[in-house]
Chain A
């Protein structure tokens, strides 16, 4: 049953995000500051 139903992904469909995208996300995370004031959360990016 397992052999019939489990579909292996073909090589051409295996994708990975680019290193530059991952670097951007990590930098974005580092620069993101969440500030809470009177119950409201504000986002700001500090480079």
Chain B
């Protein structure tokens, strides 16, 4: 709870013109955000770039007065970073790089590990169905499940952001999964690719 209050206080100060508050916000979330980005992209340089772009978006949004997350600053920042990571992978898959080797292999350039159109449609449908199932969960369970699965947050981070103990967060996750299985079984839903 304290973490949320502190973030909202720093945001208010920053919007009011206190640049030190921005420094405090960056320092506070530097390690968590950098580690999250690095865990996805596995490159120091790209991590720096995405970290920088994430905070440029944060700064612009705060300064424009468009921020409205009611105390959940870190999940919001993580979401921005997550979207930028996806953009990065999209861009890099559109521009394949070939690193010179002794024997040139054309198939190293032509390889395609993307899903074909049919499988992509099936995957999109499953993602969509799963999203609807998740929305059926009680709000407290849904919140924990989304933070854990979609935002890749640890239970310690979830506990800090929701203001509940780690054991409560674990319990909510457990019941969220049990309830999801129940809904799937009761409605004979098939989620396979």
Contacts and interface: CB of A to CB of B under 8 A. Distances in A.
Indicate whether A and B interact: yes
Interface of A: 1-2, 5-7, 9, 13-18, 21-22, 24-26, 28-30, 32, 34, 41, 43
Nearest to B44: A15
Contact of B170 (A2, A17, A32, A41): A2
Interface residues of B, number: 30
B59 A17 contact: no
A30 B30 CA distance: 19
B30 A5 contact: no
A14 to B, nearest CB: 5
Nearest to A9: B35
Interface of B: 19, 22-23, 26-27, 30-31, 33-35, 37-39, 44, 47-48, 51-52, 55-56, 59-60, 63-64, 154-156, 166-167, 170
Given A21-B51, A25-B52, 4 more contacts: A6-B154, A9-B35, A14-B31, A32-B63
23 contacts: A1-B170, A2-B155, A2-B170, A5-B155, A6-B154, A13-B39, A14-B31, A15-B31, A15-B34, A15-B35, A15-B47, A16-B30, A16-B31, A17-B26, A18-B48, A24-B52, A25-B52, A25-B56, A25-B59, A26-B19, A26-B22, A29-B59, A30-B19
Contact of B59 (A1, A9, A22, A32): A32
Nearest to A20: B48
Q: Which 6 A-B pairs have the closest CB atoms?
A: A15-B34, A15-B38, A17-B51, A15-B35, A25-B55, A17-B34
